[in-house]
Amino acid sequence: MSRRAPSRVFIIGWDGATWDLLRPWAAAGQLPALSRLMAQGAWGPLRSTIQPLTAVAWSSFLTGCSPGQHGLYDFIHRVPGRYDVRLTSRAGRPVPDLWSLLSQAQKRVAAINVPMMVPVSPVNGVLVGGIDAPGLGPETVYPPEFIPEIKQHVPHYRIAASERSPAQWAQALHEMVTGRADLLTHLLARETWDCLMVVFSATDIAQHIFWRHMANGEQPYADTILHIYQACDRVLGHLWEQLTPDDTLLLLSDHGAGPCAGALYLNRYLEQGGFLQRREATGRSAHTLLQLGKRFLPAGSRAWLKRRFGPVRDRLESHLFHQAYDWSRTRLYSLGSYGHLYFNLRDREPEGIVDPAGVTALVQEVRNYLDDLRDPHTGEKLVRHVWWREELYHGPVVDRAPDLIIEWANLALPADCWESAFQ
């Protein structure tokens, strides 16, 4: 009797993928590999995390834990006892991830462009950081000896992109897909893996850049999102051809996507309600310069600056945040991608003014205030619920969570922590 080959697990991530696009395209035969997978496997919408963010959702998948256990709640986090902010990273997760557990079981693993893996840690295999990785380096690739192998076999490989024109973006996103595809092909030929995962972030980025073109039929970029998904679909089909009946194939995403109707600058709204007081014009020029650099510098330049001057950037952003508010008149403020709320709590924050005994009353006050928040164009209610962190999260690192978490009723109008008006 011949011995059966050990089963393998292959995981493909399409970041930001939404069934709103995938189902009609699959039904129309435009995504044949996905259509086949839907016909032969199990599929359906999954519930993402609150908030549905890359850093939070992928960390929950990789660890099997809720944010209250893995400790990542946003792309940034506060430094305890200070008004400083830092970028979130894998270093902040106190629980082991999938690759660590598989390596402990002597399984060979390869994880390519999975978000929130930086700084990388030793595994029984290879790791390449995802969209949060500032280029190829010893903190983003394990083992470091894998870096020249990538450059030799996939010289056009790129982790991320930062372009200016739609034409440049379209080309860069296709290069991101083909680079991952070619690296996947190289890894499959290199050896047999027990678990291999690759995440395609171009799907998410394409939707950010080109959704408006798609929705309005604006040529020549109306089909760019579809073309990116079709390129990913071809990779899915190629991988499928190499599977055995004992292998397992998973296709998943961290969250969905949709049109953006505008932006709500939540701290302006909180200021209007008397919850905080901003210092007008303090640090505006430095903040504007910082944001322009993030938006317009090429990816390679930003990666070099991040590697060389990451601590300087953190200090600058912390300084700008600290100087943005009159803390003697601020009870509550928003910070993060979806408007997480923090108390300016006495004996916890350096200049805290909120008496812990008055927190319950403050929560009810802000809940009532946010309950009246409406879309200025449609009158639609924007906030579904405002949660205490202990109502959502359980675990040893709940204290890292925002004090209050807004569950938005309409994610087409997201919140931003820095500016101060409807736009």
Across 30-34, 87-91, 159-163, least confident range: 159-163
Residues 248-256, mean pLDDT to the nearest whole number = 96
Q: Which of 129, 123, 140 is nearest to 58 (CA)?
A: 129
- So what's the pLDDT on residue 299? 42
User: Which pLDDT score is estimated for 369?
Assistant: 96
Q: Please tell me the distance from the alpha carbon of residue 217 to that of residue 206, in angstroms, as a whole number.
A: 15
Instruction: Judge whether residue 297 has pLDDT over 80.
Output: no
pLDDT at residue 259 greater than cutoff 50: yes
Question: Which is more confident, 291 or 107?
Answer: 107
Confidence of residue 84 (pLDDT cuts 50, 70, 90): confident
Using 50, 70 and 90 to split pLDDT, how confident is the model at 298? very low
Please say whether the beta carbons of 296 and 288 come within 8 A: no
Does 120 or 299 have the greater pLDDT score?
120
- pLDDT tens figures, 40-52: 999 999 999 998 9
Structural domains of the chain, ranges and CATH numbers in brackets = 9-252 (3.40.720.10), 264-278+327-423 (3.30.1360), 284-324 (no CATH)
- CA 111/CA 61 separation, integer angstroms: 13
Query: What is the pLDDT averaged over residues 24-34?
Result: 98
Per the model's pLDDT, the better-predicted residue between 420 and 44 turns out to be: 44
Q: Looking at beta carbons, which pairs linking 138-145 to residues 24 or more positions away fall under 8 Å?
A: none
Residue of higher predicted confidence among 295 and 122: 122
Q: What is the pLDDT of residue 311?
A: 60
Mean pLDDT of the chain: 87
pLDDT in tens, 307-318: 444 565 566 666
Summarize pLDDT for 318-368 with one digit per residue, the tens.
667 777 899 999 999 998 888 899 999 999 999 999 999 999 999 999 999
Highest mean pLDDT among 81-90, 276-285, 396-405: 396-405
Q: Residues 143-154: pLDDT tens digits?
A: 999 999 999 999
> What is the model's pLDDT at position 282?
52
Rounded Cα–Cα distance for residues 61 and 46 (Å): 12
Over residues 207-251, the pLDDT tens digits come to: 999 999 999 999 999 999 999 999 999 999 999 999 999 999 999
pLDDT of 85 over the 70 cut = yes
Q: Which residue has the higher pLDDT, 80 or 398?
A: 398
Question: At 164, is the pLDDT very low, low, confident or very high (cuts 50, 70, 90)?
Answer: confident
Of 9-13, 123-127, 391-395, which range is least confident? Answer: 391-395
pLDDT at 3 over 80: no
Asked whether residue 34 carries a pLDDT value surpassing 80, the answer given is yes
* pLDDT attached to residue 9: 97
Q: How confident is the model at residue 413 (pLDDT cuts 50, 70, 90)?
A: low
Q: What is the pLDDT of residue 144?
A: 96
